[in-house]
Amino acid sequence: DRGRYRHFMEKEIHEQPEAIATTLNAHLDGTRICPSLDPELLGRVRAIHILACGTSYHAGLVARYWIERLARVPVSVEIASEYRYREPAIPEDTLLIAISQSGETADTLAALERAEHAGYLSTLGICNVPESALTRQCENVLMTRAGLEIGVASTKAFTTQLTVLLLFAAALAKAREADPGMIRQVLEDLGQASQQAREVLAMDGEVQQVAEEIASKAHALFLGRGPEYPIAMEGALKLKEISYIHAEAYAAGELKHGPLALVDDTLPVIVPASSNPLLTKLISNLQEVRARGGMLYVFADRGVSLAPAPGIRMIRVPAPHSIISPIIQVLPLQFLAYHVGVLKGTDVDQPRNLAKSVTVE
Ligand code: F6R
């Protein structure tokens, strides 16, 4: 039932504050983080391989920043369809994490199956569907509590995957005796996520104005740095699948290595910008875009100050910078794709050629 919403995607975007809160509650028990995971197992983990496809892969890419920063465990993230046909070298005591909303994605399951005989320490599935093939195949499971996701484009499954992955990073850090103050801060920030998401979702009208400008374009470029780079990738994926506009994402530092040649006054450049230590570098990348006439749309959190200038449109994301920024920054990009799709009259809940569950290779 879509209720008062026009599409499931719109409804599911709006369900995120609650889905995040429910997911958090499911994996916190007083001071215990992810109590279903054995702390002794976590203490043994010396490396992590993450496998997933599509949006779930982007969640894995964000998690790499979190896990390495908080728990100091090396992480590699790979698309399952690539991994399954490689001969990966697996260091001792490596934990395999498979991320899948549906738990039925053929490539992710096949990768997991191959890995079972490859000498991993253990497997952990992150999944939204209980009783799916993935939850049956993994030794450990952390469920996302997004509720049923019907729109083909993943929205609330993604932000709840991020919620679980940040909790997991904190649990791993704790098992490895990281600074308790740092872990407390992560939990405090996560505790703000649901409320911040609610405030960001209230900026829908402003995003709609941006959508009106983007809807007539043939191409769009997304740029990000640090944990906002995978968010730029996710923004580009959402835009192309919902609106059929060709969109590409680059790490902002890669501009000079090729994509800058594309930039002219017909190319919108969309940037999730967080006031993290890389902000000054990001801003100098943006100036390179401006110098070539590219129109900039910067989704900036409260700490970003950019002088107003022609060709730069600042969309203020009403949230401070913190470790949860990627969870918050993706929300306006989901809205953007949604509104562009609606303006173009595409079938946003059922984009052409796509299926919700990719059960064949
Ligand atoms: C994009 C999208 C897909 C899925 C991908 C993996 O919006 O929904 O890219 O993320 O097909 O699906 P799961 O997570 O079910 O394995």
Which residues touch 305 (CB under 8 Å, ≥6 apart)?
Answer: none
Please indicate whether residue 1 or residue 162 has the higher confidence score (pLDDT).
162
Are the C-beta atoms of residues 50 and 172 closer than 8 Å to each other? no
Task: Name the more confident of 140 and 279.
Answer: 140
- Which region among 209-213, 243-247, 307-311, 325-329 has the lowest average model confidence (pLDDT)? 307-311
Pair type for strands 28-29 and 32-33: antiparallel
What pLDDT, on a 0 to 100 scale, did the predictor assign at position 306? 80
- 326: nearest Cα among 104, 55, 14, 117: 55
Which tokens sit at 76? 């590699």
Percent of the chain's residues with pLDDT above 70: 100
The least confident of 163-177, 190-204, 279-293 is 279-293
Look at the pTM and tell me if it is higher than 0.90.
yes
Q: In the prediction, which pLDDT does 214 show?
A: 97
Quick: pLDDT tens for 202-261. 998 899 999 999 999 999 999 999 999 999 999 999 999 999 999 999 999 999 999 989
Task: Compute the half-sphere exposure of residue 266: CA atoms within 13 Å on the CB side of its CA.
Answer: 6
Q: Which atom of ligand 1 is nearest to the CA of 102?
A: 15
Q: 61, 105, 353: which to mutate for ligand 1, most atoms within 8 A of CB?
A: 105
pLDDT, mean of residues 328-349: 96
How far apart CA 301 and CA 316 sit, in angstroms, is 6
Place of tokens 């990009």: 333
- pLDDT band with cut points at 50, 70 and 90 for residue 305: confident
CA angle centred on 147, ends 146 and 150, rounded to 5° = 105
| Mean per-residue pLDDT over the chain, rounded | 95
- pLDDT (0 to 100) of residue 309: 81
Name the residue with tokens 């009403």: 318
Pocket of ligand 1 from Cβ distances under 6 Å: 53-56, 100-102, 105, 108, 153-154, 237, 241, 358
Q: Residue 168 has what pLDDT?
A: 98
Enzyme catalytic residues = 356
The pLDDT of residue 123 is 97
pLDDT given for residue 67 in this prediction: 98
Distance CA 302, CA 317 (A): 7
**Could you report the per-residue pLDDT of 84-124, keeping only the tens digit for each?**
999 999 999 999 999 999 999 999 999 999 888 899 999 99
Nearest partner of 159 among 1, 311, 18, 301, judged by Cα: 18
How far is the centre of ligand 1, averaged over its atoms, from the C-alpha of 210 (Å)?
A: 26
For ligand 1, mutation pick of 81, 101, 241, 346 (most atoms within 8 Å of CB): 101
Q: pLDDT by residue (tens digit) across 140-174?
A: 999 999 999 999 999 999 999 999 999 999 999 99
Nearest CA to ligand 1 atom 11: 54
Q: What is the pLDDT of residue 31?
A: 87
